[in-house]
Amino acid sequence: MNHPHPDLGLPSTLVPGGLRIVALGGLAEIGRNMTVFETKGKLLILDCGVLFPEDTQPGIDLILPDFSYIRDRLDDVIGIFLTHGHEDHIGAVPYLLRQRGDIPIYGSALTLALLRAKLREHRITPLTHEVREGGREDVGPFELEFVAVNHSIPDALAVVINTDAGRILHTGDFKMDQLPLDGRITDLRTFSRLGQEGVDIFMVDSTNADVPGFLPSEREIMPALNRVISSTKRRVIVASFSSHVHRIQQVIDIAAAHGRKVVFIGRSMVRNMKIAQDMGYLTIPVGALIDVKDLDAFDDNIVLICTGSQGEPMAALARMANGDHQIRVGDGDTVILASSLIPGNENSVFRIINELTRFGAKVVHKANAMVHVSGHAAAGELLYCYNIVRPKYVIPVHGEWRHLRANAELAIQAGTSRANALIIENGVVVDLVDHEASVVGAVPCGFVYVDGQSIGDITETSLKDRRILGEEGFISVVVVIDSQSGKIVAGPDIHARGFNEDMALFDDVKLKIEKALANAVLDGINGTHQLSQIVRKTVGGWVGGEHRRKPMIIPVVIEV
């Protein structure tokens, strides 16, 4: 597990009164956001999310931030602040609380409600402190101020971190929708005030930094959704994030306007919408919502709202596409993917679109209809913020390399000096001392894989083995030799999987193995380990030369 900048050594001890910033996830990637702030010997954590696996990580359920940097200092952690309730910002909290369960957690009402529901499944009761926009909280040596921002989930907050070393403004995930459904806009007045007072480091959401202009308002997808739902004769299935309350509110309103009943499908969707409704963030007309078990009592005049817009294999939509869900998709049904594609999920989503289309459904998505608006500020909005805040330093966050670099260029265009636009990645350490920031080193920071009940046991080597097994196949070779003479007593027996069913294919290589072992014995080589390596090399050379494949090869040489 190496840090991303081999030219950077470990940082020296933080100077008294300084502020140290270390991202343990969320930089040069979309997900597992987590940043640690340190001053006066105390640690404050901002967000603690998960990253979802790609096709190149077979068998992995989740990817966590690397907690090793703080593992020996958990007693110094005085709080976790959560900017909003998305999985890539709160999903790893249960795994951190397993290591120390009484860390105080700060967040808005909805964020904490979603977190508590998640933690109940892990049998963890958190110590929570609800905060609101406009509020302030002293958390040890950190003075926090909370600022309303608009995002694709209600109750999102930016945070101001005031310390003796200087002031940080972290946007969290945000955009600048001027006509949001809940009327809660990004608080540019406070951004402006902070800019006038002075912001040392502006940490800014980069996800859409390479998208020019301004995003459309969430309201602008209403006509497209209405057109699709009103023109569908049979069922409508809408796939969305289970936290996108505003999107789901629009679907419910349109369904009700056309006399359609609404059904929530998927455990997280049912759970989150119940929380949102109980807290007043979601309004459902009386009689509009039915339970999935009552579905058969109604005709096709329904709208099903489900999880799975990112192609998650266990989510409701993927199971419908695979034909193993109680709801069977067929001719005349319309499926709406009301989300964008998170990088890495493209293949999974396109596979689902193809399968649903094969069943006869019409699939509507961002590429062919205005059914999604992003929750992240585009370049025009970011420039607007840079001109208001006028920060001394900028650290782009939340994005892949192309996003981080595009965001830094926007800051530079708006007047930040190039030297003060710090493009860093996970593990790189930035110190702020007397309002002056600099990169001072890097700490080890890798991926932590969750595979079932296993956390952190799967290594990159294990994943490489899985990829080889999945892509190149498996060959085992068993040879029994006489311990005295070294001659072959039995075998070679060859077994292959994912390679070729015709075992006669291996007759040629059996002769090569026998010859190679005989030559080795003549040369005085008789240890089973050395002979195993000769078998591996012989089979590898043959299969590579004859078949252009690199399967996993397991040689077993037994002495009798």
Q: What is the pLDDT along the chain (560 residues), one digit of tens a residue?
A: 334 466 888 999 999 999 999 999 999 998 899 999 999 999 999 999 988 765 555 556 678 899 999 999 999 999 999 999 999 999 999 999 999 999 999 999 999 999 999 999 889 999 999 999 999 999 999 999 999 999 999 999 999 999 999 999 999 999 999 999 899 999 999 999 999 999 999 999 999 999 999 999 998 888 888 988 888 888 898 988 888 899 999 999 999 999 999 999 888 899 999 999 999 999 999 988 988 888 777 778 899 998 877 767 667 888 888 877 878 888 888 988 887 766 666 777 888 888 888 888 888 887 777 778 889 999 999 999 999 999 999 999 999 999 999 999 999 999 999 999 999 999 999 999 999 999 999 998 887 776 655 565 555 555 555 455 545 567 777 877 766 666 776 767 777 766 555 566 677 777 777 777 777 766 666 667 677 777 778 777 777 776 666 777 777 777 76
DSSP E strands, 91-171: 104-107, 127-130, 136-139, 142-148, 157-163, 166-170
CA angle (346 as vertex; 345, 347 as ends), nearest 5? 100
Alpha carbon distance 126, 527 (integer Å): 57
pLDDT score recorded for residue 549: 66
Q: What count of other Cβ atoms lies within 10 Å of the Cβ of residue 402?
A: 13
**Cβ-based burial of 279 (10 A; exposed 0-12, middle 13-18, buried ≥19):** middle
Structure token pair of residue 306: 């489900």
Under 8 Å between Cβ of 443 and 10: yes
3-state secondary structure (DSSP) of residue 251: helix
**Cβ-based burial of 6 (10 A; exposed 0-12, middle 13-18, buried ≥19):** exposed
Contacts of 545 (CB under 8 A, 6+ apart): none
Whole-angstrom CA distances from 65 to 8, 79, 297, 443, 473 are: 20, 17, 46, 13, 32
From the list 111, 167, 109, 161, the residue with the least C-alpha distance to 138 is 161
| Element counts in the chain: helices (H) and strands (E) | 15, 25
pLDDT score recorded for residue 459: 59
The residues spanned by each domain of the chain are 19-213+374-451, 218-364, 460-559
CA angle (298 as vertex; 293, 301 as ends), nearest 5? 120
pLDDT score recorded for residue 484: 65
Under 8 Å between Cβ of 491 and 559: no
Alpha carbon distance 292, 265 (integer Å): 7
Q: Which residues are 167's β-sheet partners?
A: 162
Report CA torsion sign: 69, 71, 77, 79: positive
Structure token pair of residue 113: 């409600």
Q: What count of other Cβ atoms lies within 10 Å of the Cβ of residue 210?
A: 17
Under 8 Å between Cβ of 220 and 187: no
Contacts of 540 (CB under 8 A, 6+ apart): 550, 553
Alpha carbon distance 6, 24 (integer Å): 16
Q: What count of other Cβ atoms lies within 10 Å of the Cβ of residue 535?
A: 25
From the list 155, 152, 173, the residue with the least C-alpha distance to 240 is 152
Q: What count of other Cβ atoms lies within 10 Å of the Cβ of residue 400?
A: 17
**Cβ-based burial of 208 (10 A; exposed 0-12, middle 13-18, buried ≥19):** buried
Under 8 Å between Cβ of 448 and 439: no
**Residue ranges of the alpha helices (H) in 100-244?**
109-121, 188-197, 222-231
| Residue with tokens 């569908």, as numbered in its chain | 232
What CATH number does domain 460-559 carry, 3.40.640.10, 3.10.20.580, 3.30.1330.60, 3.30.160.20?
3.10.20.580
Alpha carbon distance 291, 262 (integer Å): 9
CATH superfamily of 19-213+374-451: Ribonuclease Z/Hydroxyacylglutathione hydrolase-like (3.60.15.10)
pLDDT score recorded for residue 465: 53
| Residue with tokens 């309004």, as numbered in its chain | 283
Under 8 Å between Cβ of 360 and 333: yes
Query: Buried b / exposed e across 48-59, counting CB within 10 Å, b at 16+?
Result: bbbbbbbeebee
| Strand arrangement of the beta sheet that strand 448-451 belongs to | 62-64, 448-451, 454-455
| Fold classified for 218-364 | Rossmann fold (3.40.50)
Give the global pTM.
0.80
